[in-house]
Structure 1
Amino acid sequence: MRVFPIAVVSALIALSACGAPEPASRAASDTLGLRPVAVGTATAPIVTPRWNVQAVQVEVPRSLHVSEANLLFPIADIVWRGDARGDRYDQVDAIVTEAATRAISGMTNGQPVVVEITMKRFHALTERARYTVGGSYGVKMDIALRDANTGMLIDGPRALSVGFKASGGQKAIEEEARGITEKVAIINYLTDYLREELLRPLPMPVGSDRISEAN
């Protein structure tokens, strides 16, 4: 599990700026200047959350099955070849941590929280698929928010399932020549996806001041 305090988060964001590939299909929302806005009914108003993210914790359980088989579609929880062969759990951890770190950029006003992500699946392409037919990336995770001071669960865990197209053959080769590697494509997509999830409106009981302008 990796824990990134907010000071380290800011440094990581500055260091991890890559080339700009095509934006992900799920648009990211601007995190600055948000205000709670009730749009629901009298019994279950909806508010736009404002978070002061204190840390990001990513867990890649060692119980997940890793495959190094060079098949078109290995049956496994983790399939990753975008780094040299090594500890795939740590490699996936680093990828998701970087995406989450970018996703929380600007989230410094509001209720202090910790973002917890537990990986369930991380399926990229094998060498055989990457340089022939291509395919799709499949990522599954649970995400939760906890109060940074009390540890109280605020939201989740929510199961997230992400799938998006992965280039193959000549297109993949051309993209890599422009710096759009599998790692870059996945990090950029997950950044937008996670940012959108963290800004998703939450139901709030009437009379609750859990999310307020005072924060």
Structure 2
Amino acid sequence: MNLLKMACALTLGVSLTACGSSEVVTRAAPLSSTTANIDYSVKNFQPTPELLTAEAMQAAIVQQINVSQINVNVPTSLKVSEANRYYPSGDIVWREDPIGDRHAQVGKILKDAMLQGTASFQGSVPIILDIQLVRFHALSEKARYTVGGVHHVVFDMILRDAKTGAVLSPPRRIETDLAAFGGQQAKTAEANGQTQKRRLTNHLAEVIRQQMVKPAGYENASLGFFQLVNRI
């Protein structure tokens, strides 16, 4: 069951009532551990009566749904790599910000992208979007200034009822890749304001938008050799 069907069912009032009531919008809430206790494992998912199964037209989600809260969790268990190799091992590889808390840095990128990608959903039916990062691979300095590669981001997502907190969708793992510039192409892109951060933010925003509105959800692009390396 894809997220579109479940989210659209929300708009038809399958499990929510009083859609016209005012809601406290917390989209700008800081990165937090509010999702730390959510089980994103598909194998452990147990359907409940609140799980939505009705089908609806795609337009309904755009017209009615309101992503009123976005929670992003970046587990501290994710390993950060600062190794300057073409393909550093680790769960988080990020170099465009100064050396610091990489978990917080990539978490902010993910949160900003989710806010941007769901901004158009301003209907009367509020839902919560929970995101948990699994992997965030941008480029090392060596790859950035030579051959380039692929930005590889993996995250889990769940939709919840903003009024009751009930889980409305099975956990869904999203894997997405974006061609990463290298050498002169990277320098030219930076000179034009197309930094890794901006490109990744815009890309992830489009990923979540497509996931919410397309019947089959987001479909990753095929990027060849470097994409296969990221699966190792």
The TM-score bracket by the shorter chain reads: 0.7 to 0.9
Match of 1:98, SS state, is: helix
1:76 and 2:90 correspond: yes
1:134 and 2:144 correspond: no
- Which among 126, 129, 134 is matched to residue 115 of structure 1? 129
Measured in 2, the distance between the counterparts of 1:157 and 1:84 equals 33
Match of 1:154, SS state, is: coil
Contact 2:27–2:68 under 8 Å retained in 1? no
Structure 1: where are the runs of 5+ without partners?
10-42, 203-215
Match of 2:177, SS state, is: strand
Give the equivalent residue in structure 2 for 1:64. 78
* Per-residue deviation, 1:155: 1.6
Measured in 2, the distance between the counterparts of 1:152 and 1:47 equals 23
The structure, 1 or 2, with the larger RCO (C-alpha pairs under 8 Å, 6+ apart) is 1
* Per-residue deviation, 1:192: 0.7
Match of 2:185, SS state, is: helix
> Structure 1: which 4+ aligned runs deviate by more than 6 Å?
none
Give the equivalent residue in structure 2 for 1:156. 170
Match of 2:158, SS state, is: strand
Give the equivalent residue in structure 1 for 2:25. 6
Contact 1:60–1:119 under 8 Å retained in 2? yes
Match of 1:113, SS state, is: strand
Give the equivalent residue in structure 1 for 2:160. 146
Contact 2:72–2:110 under 8 Å retained in 1? yes
Measured in 2, the distance between the counterparts of 1:178 and 1:187 equals 16
* Per-residue deviation, 1:104: 1.1
| Superposition CA RMSD, Å | 1.8
Measured in 1, the distance between the counterparts of 2:26 and 2:164 equals 20
* Per-residue deviation, 1:46: 4.3
Give the equivalent residue in structure 1 for 2:6. none
Match of 1:155, SS state, is: coil
Measured in 2, the distance between the counterparts of 1:44 and 1:113 equals 16
* Per-residue deviation, 1:52: 1.2
User: Normalized against structure 1, the TM-score is what?
Assistant: 0.72
Whichever residue aligns with residue 25 of structure 2, its letter is: I
Measured in 2, the distance between the counterparts of 1:195 and 1:155 equals 16
Give the equivalent residue in structure 2 for 1:23. none
Aligned residues: 165
Give the equivalent residue in structure 1 for 2:179. 165
User: Normalized against structure 2, the TM-score is what?
Assistant: 0.67
Give the equivalent residue in structure 2 for 1:195. 209
* Per-residue deviation, 1:107: 1.1
Higher strand share: 1
